[in-house]
Amino acid sequence: MLTPITELKGVGARLAERLTRLNVFFIEDLLFHLPFRYEDRTRLVPVGSLRAGDEAVIQGTVELAQIKFGKKRMLLVHVTDGTGMILLRFFYFNAQQKEALARGVRVRCFGEVRAGPKSLEMVHPEYRIVVDPEEIPNVDEHLTPVYPTTEQLHQLSLRQLTRRALEQLAQGKLHLQELLPAALLEEMHYPELSAAVQYLHQPPPDVALELLEERNHPMQLRLAFEELLAQAVSLRQRRMRAHREQAPALNCADKYTTQLQAQLPFKLTDAQQRVFAEIRADLHKAEPMQRLVQGDVGSGKTIVAVLAALQTVEAGYQVALMAPTEILAEQHYQNLLRWLTPLNISIAWISGKLKGKSRRETVAALTAGTVQVCVGTHALFQEDVEFARLALVIIDEQHRFGVHQRLALRNKGVKAQLHPHQLIMTATPIPRTLAMTIYADLDVSVIDALPPGRKPVETVVVPESRRSEIVQRVAQACQQGRQVYWVCALIEESEVLQCQAAEDTARDLAEALPQLRIGLLHGRLVTAQKEQVMQQFKQHQLDLLVATTVIEVGVDVPNASLMIIENAERFGLAQLHQLRGRVGRGTQDSVCVLLYHGSLSQLARERLKAMRETNDGFEIARRDLEIRGPGEVLGTKQTGLMQLRVADLLKHQRLLPAVNRWTEKFIVEHPGEVAALIQRWVGEGTRFADV
Ligand code: ADP
Ligand code: MG
């Protein structure tokens, strides 16, 4: 049983409301709201041994206190303790304060030490006057916790409330249920729960602070493990629930898939065949498939998805294919027309820009069931779009969508209790153990090889000052019959300005290279224009395509073998890799030029170096995880999925094999504890995703 937070002394309705913003509803939640750092007020530090960056308690005598006048009035107080001198600097002060800090007065201060112009300083330290010189320095027994907090909730009140809750815990008035099985605690050598919690709120003075700060302390690992397990259990449980739901079993004689393969200009790679076999087996079952296909840029995910679509159509059902951008949706549509029209399959297209009569007709055809495959952007799950017999939902470039969008589309199929199968595709490959945890609600297939004959893209990093050289290189490439992308960076967040930048670049290049046929593609063109430009580029009626990042995902023109990315220093690693994936799709040698402006930051240099050194999506993802952290890379931060409190998917990666090993075991062997574990750890984001 959990105890409502209002039962804690000092918590009224108003405070309780503020605590909910920290996801604290019960007193127990407060105990799991852990410090993100600590201050050491357990000992007095000799001034002489301070270094800039330290946070410390000092005690000494005021040597001199003076007001300095200048641009900004301030109070400067020199304090010495026999080992050294430190300056206290106050910008806000009143006359009484100045008076109290007179020469000869003893003060105790706590604050961050920084290097000032002449000596070490503390700016606005916490301080108090020590009245009795005989007073024994009375310092704290524990490190002082610093909690993440929220508006109108003071650090000090949070500290006090937590201290009260800990007292209750120590007195046995509050009980934290141990949810980890004894066998697990033993196997991992983990301490018991309440000991770990107590320790992390009030670490003893001799704690290894570096371990704590790196979140690598055994007490933290124990909680991190529990949190990761809770997340994985929650996702896995969702998958088990989904498996109990009904889906149409898509049985067919494989007529269409055989026909299409016979008609393709290439043979499927072994990896593609293996992954399709896994999908095919799923589709035969009367429970909804929930499969994620991971494959690097260019590994050929589209054709695998199309084969799955064909199986669905042959079994008499409809397919929805959702892509994150209009250009990609349009390209999928063109591919499907080319591949499926010969098989007499009817295909439609829906995007936010489809309006009026044509939209009404398309929607009507979907509802009537005369359209068999529908491609589109997220416009696919607008309310009035209804499917007669939707049995397969394919989501391309999943990391671009939120969980909610995915679920919204899934619900389109709930007719007579039949859920559609789901196939989710992503080009953000991540290590297997990580995938098992964060995609515990999905089955994962990996297309782990590129089609034969692909050559790695040579990548060069070039300063803007050599732009004219690069322009000449573009001219040469086009003269040899190759095609080129010129990608303009996001100079501003504003789409208008981005498009403007692309327009300017296109004009400049047209002036410099009058012999070339140059096209322009950006988000503000109307659909028909975008379509036309893409078609012209595909059919080699254009040599050079100047574009914004609208071409980032999916675009496929094998004859393009040179890409210039302007302001490459501003892009993230994953995005650069995706963009670069637009070249190297044909048989020629391809080159990607990363143009950069000005001097590079450390992070930008690391990113560009990674791009130069490797073409391997897994390696890129690994480095990206290191540079940016998993929340950003996997989009979980944006979508609110798996917001972790103690655990860190990267720092605690080595816990994942054991977490994965215990996930199903926990559900099966400890069914009574599952709900409590999820309740304790899984944040609102994931709870919401379940609705
Ligand atoms: P991605 O996995 O990035 O979505 P695509 O599905 O767009 O990759 O495929 C990239 C290119 O490779 C396309 O031109 C596609 O036709 C081609 N392709 C796919 N599979 C094969 C294969 N087995 N052999 C040769 N080319 C292939
Ligand atoms: Mg793709």
Nearest CA to ligand 1 atom 18: 300
Nearest CA to ligand 1 atom 23: 268
Residues 301, 400 within the same domain: yes
Distance from C-alpha of 629 to C-alpha of 622, rounded to nearest angstrom: 10
Let me know if residue 384 belongs to a domain: yes
Residue 365 CA, ligand 2 centroid: distance in Å? 27
Which two tokens mark 166? 């800990």
Residue 400 CA, ligand 1 centroid: distance in Å? 20
Residues 347, 363 within the same domain: yes
Let me know if residue 276 belongs to a domain: yes
| Ligand 1 atom closest to Cα of residue 558 | 14
Cβ neighbourhood burial of 141 (10 Å; 0-12, 13-18, 19+): exposed
Residues 512, 367 within the same domain: no
Let me know if residue 128 belongs to a domain: yes
Specify which of 141-155, 273-287, 486-500 reaches the highest per-range mean pLDDT. Answer: 273-287
Residues 180, 121 within the same domain: no
Which ligand places an atom closest to the C-alpha of 329? 2
Residue 207 CA, ligand 1 centroid: distance in Å? 55
Residues 317, 405 within the same domain: yes
Q: 558 CB under 6 A from ligand 1?
A: yes
Let me know if residue 16 belongs to a domain: yes
Query: Token match 């953000």: residue?
Result: 428
Residues 120, 192 within the same domain: no
Which two tokens mark 384? 């009035």
Residues 20, 54 within the same domain: no
Q: 35 CB under 6 A from ligand 1?
A: no
Residues 441, 359 within the same domain: yes
Q: 629 CB under 6 A from ligand 1?
A: no
Q: Beta-carbon neighbour count of residue 206 at 10 Å? A: 8
Number of separate domains in the chain = 4
For the stretch 314-352, pLDDT in tens is 999 999 999 888 878 888 998 899 999 999 999 999 988
Which CATH number goes with the domain that contains 107?
2.40.50.140
Residues 78, 104 within the same domain: yes
Residues 163, 26 within the same domain: yes
Give the domain-ending residue among 447, 479, 500: 447
Let me know if residue 606 belongs to a domain: yes
Nearest CA to ligand 1 atom 14: 556
Q: 301 CB under 6 A from ligand 1?
A: yes
Which ligand places an atom closest to the C-alpha of 302? 1
In this predicted structure, what is the pLDDT of residue 691?
A: 30
For the stretch 25-60, pLDDT in tens is 999 999 999 998 898 888 889 999 999 988 899 999
Distance from C-alpha of 576 to C-alpha of 520, rounded to nearest angstrom: 20
Query: Which range is least confidently modeled, 250-264, 383-397, 414-428, 502-516?
Result: 414-428
Query: Which range is least confidently modeled, 274-278, 609-613, 615-619?
Result: 615-619
| Res. 416 pLDDT band, cuts 50 70 90 | low
Q: 302 CB under 6 A from ligand 1?
A: yes
Give the domain-ending residue among 391, 412, 447: 447
Residues 487, 531 within the same domain: yes
In this predicted structure, what is the pLDDT of residue 297?
A: 83
Can you spell out the DSSP letters for 189-242? TPPPHHHHHHHHHS--TTS-HHHHHTT-SHHHHHHHHHHHHHHHHHHHHHHHHH
Specify which of 302-316, 411-425, 586-600, 624-638 reaches the highest per-range mean pLDDT. Answer: 302-316
In this predicted structure, what is the pLDDT of residue 530?
A: 84
For the stretch 270-321, pLDDT in tens is 999 999 999 999 999 999 999 999 988 888 999 999 999 999 999 999 999 9
Residues 433, 472 within the same domain: no
Which CATH number goes with the domain that contains 502?
3.40.50.300
Domain that holds residue 393: 255-447
Residue 557 CA, ligand 2 centroid: distance in Å? 12
Let me know if residue 624 belongs to a domain: no
In this predicted structure, what is the pLDDT of residue 686?
A: 41
Query: Token match 């050289």: residue?
Result: 469
Top mutation candidate among 264, 269, 302, 423 for ligand 1, by most atoms within 8 Å of CB = 302
Mean local confidence (pLDDT), 169-181: 92
Query: Which range is least confidently modeled, 123-137, 397-411, 567-581?
Result: 397-411
Which ligand places an atom closest to the C-alpha of 268? 1
Give the domain-ending residue among 569, 598, 614: 614
Mean local confidence (pLDDT), 500-508: 88
594 pLDDT higher than 50: yes
Q: 299 CB under 6 A from ligand 1?
A: yes
Q: 451 CB under 6 A from ligand 1?
A: yes
Cβ partners under 8 Å of residue 349, min gap 6: 329, 330, 333, 362, 374, 375, 376
Let me know if residue 430 belongs to a domain: yes
Distance from C-alpha of 441 to C-alpha of 667, rounded to nearest angstrom: 13
Let me know if residue 246 belongs to a domain: no
Q: 450 CB under 6 A from ligand 1?
A: no
Residue 394 CA, ligand 2 centroid: distance in Å? 12
Note the pTM of the prediction, 2 decimals: 0.75
